[in-house]
Structure 1
Amino acid sequence: MSRATAKNPDLSFLAVRAKREDTFAALRSITAQGLLDRSRKVVERGVYTEIPVTASAPGFRIISQDAPLYYRKAPDLAESLRGQLLPEEIELLPRGWYILGDVIVVKIHPCLEPHQARIGRALLDCYPRCRSVLRDYGIEGPFREPVREIIAGTVTETVHRENGVIFHLDARKVMFSAGNLRERMRMGNLGRGEYVVDMFAGIGYFSLPMAVHSPPRRILAIELNPNAYHYLCLNIKENRVEDIVKPILGDCAKATPEGVADRVVMGMVQVTDRYLQRGIRALRPGGVLHYHQTVPSRAYPEQAVRDIAEAARALGRGSQILRCIRVKKYSPGVLHSVVDARIE
């Protein structure tokens, strides 16, 4: 096959070339048009990214990728365990899992508990670069910490790399949601030159993408959980953003300053409304609030919008809704949403 040219790109490897800061917007538009090639990865090339597409995307520059990167086809866990489990047990095997660094996190049906070690070993066979498998039971407690058990391997500390950001974490002790990737990428395009307050910073989920890709003047990252705070400090140093991100170990209800922020990130869910007035008080007039919350699907986005309007009104301030985003499905009939609002 002859080498493709810019005018006649190879149709097998079509991609949109976008500036890195425009990646999120371009990816959202391409996905909405149904043109995203999900078999290939988004690739960074210097100051640009290449977004794989199945056909020309109107309004975007189309190139032919010289070195496309493909996703590995998800392994068939059922096939690898066939003959070791009963047919009815095969039907209960997990259909999905996610990988943090070199640790696999998976939910397992209670009826398969006697076989969890075998399932763990099978997953490690599927992913030779991984070192451990954790069974996930959900989250609990005031710090919303994961409840997880090692079923294969011994290592739980890992290094997860994503969108040019390095995250050190212990997958057994702190949360890291794979479903929030697009929101973390979006945050990496916001806040340039601003004073930002991240009220539930965790290990730096949103602070670090901002600091690495769109440097604010200052980020005040507040975290109450000592385990998460330990990794927050480590990640700030690892990503070399010590001059931008200031970590604070404390309760954001007490540690959040008033009237100083151009932007406030409230990246917690379920209990976030209890801190909403505090987040609004932190903002200067005209500042932007990112309010994360879980809402029933049937009440999206009205419930979260109402939370903001009522909290602002109680403080004698106005609010303008800029954007409502469905981050992911949280549970049956419930969404994790984020609402962007300008607070006057």
Structure 2
Amino acid sequence: MEENFAVIVPARDTEKVRFELQSRGLLDRRRKFVSRIVEGGSFVEIPVTDLVSGYEIKLQEQPEFYRQQMSLKERLAGKMNPEELEIIPSGWQILGNIIVVTISEKIIHRRLEIAEELLDMYPACDTVVRDLGIKGSLRQPKRQLVIGNTTETIHKENGCYFKLDVTEVMYSKGNLREKNRMSKLGTGEIVVDMFAGIGYFSLPMAVHSQPEQIYSIELNPVSFGYLKDNIRLNNVQHIVQPLHGNCAEITPKGVADRVIMGYVGGTADYLPAAIGALSKNGGILHFHEALAENLMFERPIGQIKKEAKMQGRTVEIMECRSIKKYSPGVWHVVVDARIW
């Protein structure tokens, strides 16, 4: 689904913030401002088109629109039979000027009609790509071009630019809050970003927090190429140093104030390198993993403490967070640990 974000501000600051957001092209004019009373205080939710640093962000689950837009199913009613309408997509992802949508094989013969209606709903987009899931250990997307001339785009998020080919590189919008949170950390620090991808965590941190140095490590050659492009695109060459290779082998040792392990699926295998990357004075580890509900958060905490003990180090668990549902009964979680 398209995410409908809003910044939450004290009611007295509404006009000032509205003017700022409007001048930056971030005000979403389709949605209404919503007033809220929180613990006796008066606040306003101002709708925005992207994540905005420096403000509390809320994902509006039931946004209030000035004029309710027809759903894709409503647009196609009368053009398709009831059985086809039942399996019309109800959600999709917008990356730059590209709409990525899952279309059932049962209505694949209707893909052009579906794509044309989606493009009519989003005039700024000119390309539709069908999503077929994920393949391989590098989690590469399986996708097919439906309408358009190219699958490469530049997606803007939280004031950063991400160049990518949507048929070659995964881009998850499900952990936007976590990326926004991380963009506020790391000022003046040396950071190691393992599994950096195209710069999902490295770029927002470099742009907004200005660390002293970020070592961004990526194995996938296609993602690594886009990582280098995006470092230049966001003008953070002086902060981000891209490293191509396996994190278990090329992670710098004993240098980091902060280590990001933003990958799910066997992340614990890389804990020796991650903890070894922290300086002798210690630092903070952000450990991501996909876990069954009955293993949250006991298993990752145990894995971190076990490896830290093997390296003669001490652990303090700072915070545990659930990011999103990864699959039925499985959650993407993050554990923040201070290690010295």
In the superposition, the TM-score normalised over structure 1's length comes to: 0.81
Q: In structure 2, what is the Cα distance between the partners aligned to 1:71 and 1:207?
A: 37
1:239-274 residue CA offsets vs partner (Å, 9 max, x unmatched): 111000001111111110111111111111112111
Other-structure match for 2:290: 294
Other-structure match for 1:303: 299
Mapped contact 2:51–2:157 kept (Cα < 8 A)? no
1:286-310 residue CA offsets vs partner (Å, 9 max, x unmatched): 2111111001123222222222122
| Alpha-carbon distance change, 272 to 44 in structure 1, aligned in 2, over 3 angstroms | closer
Alignment of 1:83-94 (within 5 A): 83-94=78-89
Q: In structure 2, what is the Cα distance between the partners aligned to 1:278 and 1:53?
A: 35
Q: In structure 1, what is the Cα distance between the partners aligned to 2:149 and 2:59?
A: 40
1:256 aligned onto 2:251: yes
**3-state SS in 2 of match to 1:161:** strand
1:13-58 residue CA offsets vs partner (Å, 9 max, x unmatched): 998x9xxxxxxxxxxxx9x98x98778227899x85486899xxxx
Letter in 1 for 2:330: V
Letter in 1 for 2:133: G
Shifted more, 82-91 versus 191-200: the winner is 82-91
Q: In structure 2, what is the Cα distance between the partners aligned to 1:52 and 1:230?
A: 33
1:99 aligned onto 2:94: yes
Alignment of 1:61-140 (within 5 A): 75-140=70-135
Other-structure match for 1:227: 222
Question: Deviation at 1:8?
Answer: 8.0
Q: In structure 1, what is the Cα distance between the partners aligned to 2:195 and 2:174?
A: 18
Q: In structure 2, what is the Cα distance between the partners aligned to 1:149 and 1:44?
A: 29
Letter in 1 for 2:163: H
Match of 2:194 among 185, 193, 199: 199
1:175 aligned onto 2:176: no
Q: In structure 2, what is the Cα distance between the partners aligned to 1:293 and 1:233?
A: 26
Letter in 1 for 2:77: R
Q: In structure 2, what is the Cα distance between the partners aligned to 1:130 and 1:102?
A: 4
| Alpha-carbon distance change, 38 to 148 in structure 1, aligned in 2, over 3 angstroms | farther
Q: For the aligned residues, what is the CA RMSD?
A: 3.3
1:317 aligned onto 2:313: yes
Other-structure match for 1:332: 328
Equivalent pairs: percent with the same residue? 47
| Alpha-carbon distance change, 44 to 97 in structure 1, aligned in 2, over 3 angstroms | closer
Q: In structure 1, what is the Cα distance between the partners aligned to 2:194 and 2:88?
A: 38
Question: Deviation at 1:75?
Answer: 4.5
Give the gaps of 5 or more residues in structure 2. Answer: 1-8, 21-35
Give the gaps of 5 or more residues in structure 1. Answer: 1-5, 18-29, 55-68
Question: How many positions carry a matched residue from both structures?
Answer: 310
